[in-house]
Chain A
Amino acid sequence: DQQVKQNSPSLSVQEGRISILNCDYTNSMFDYFLWYKKYPAEGPTFLISISSIKDKNEDGRFTVFLNKSAKHLSLHIVPSQPGDSAVYFCAATGNQFYFGTGTSLTVIP
């Protein structure tokens, strides 16, 4: 059973606008959440993370929001750039890492 879900397989945004990628999870015991970015034919690279005791973490253009009551995680990218075009995976940790199915982001110049 999928414990981490990304319900949008793809997303397109204009350059300079905000990209919002969403993620839902089912296990309230997860204690750490991460976002990874993956380009074709490359391994995923770590982007940003958040502990379950926080509700927001910011790093430059990237902000992750955590809503524990809704078991919902989102990644905001502002402003979006063409180089942000990639597949984004959210993940949660418990006794192992649980990954979502990914959202393919396309930023249109």
Chain B
Amino acid sequence: DVKVTQSSRYLVKRTGEKVFLECVQDMDHENMFWYRQDPGLGLRLIYFSYDVKMKEKGDIPEGYSVSREKKERFSLILESASTNQTSMYLCASSPSAAGLEKLFFGSGTQLSVL
């Protein structure tokens, strides 16, 4: 069965801290994504990656960076956390194929920045 695992379900950090959100998938998928979900705004794409060591900016990359050193792991980094980064963060993966057909999501990390 497909599995996308996010390291933390709930996280509380202070303003200015560096925050790491980890995501691991076990399906050998090429593509991995980081979204944030906020009420009334839906899912917004932060960054995505089509291969190891490759990354592409999504719609809202400001204040974030990512790392993909191994195919199965995609990390989201908040360089200096701010209160407006309080949100639900969702990692997802999809097989490469000829096009994008389905995303598999992790359970999410609810991040609170105080």
Contacts and interface: CB of A to CB of B under 8 A. Distances in A.
Interface residues of B, number: 27
B107 A43 contact: yes
Nearest to A93: B100
B46 to A, nearest CB: 12
> Most chain-A CB neighbours within 10 Å: which of B4, B37, B48?
B37
Nearest to A102: B42
Given A42-B108, A43-B4, A43-B108, A9 B40 contact: yes
- Helix, strand, loop or mixed for chain B's interface? strand
Contacts of A97: 33, 45, 100, 103
Contact of B101 (A38, A93, A94, A102): A93
A99 interface: yes
B43 interface: yes
A43 B99 contact: no
Contacts of B92: 43
Given A43-B107, A44-B90, A44-B105, A32 B99 contact: yes
Interface of B: 4, 6, 9, 33, 35, 37, 40-45, 48, 58, 90, 92, 99-108, 110
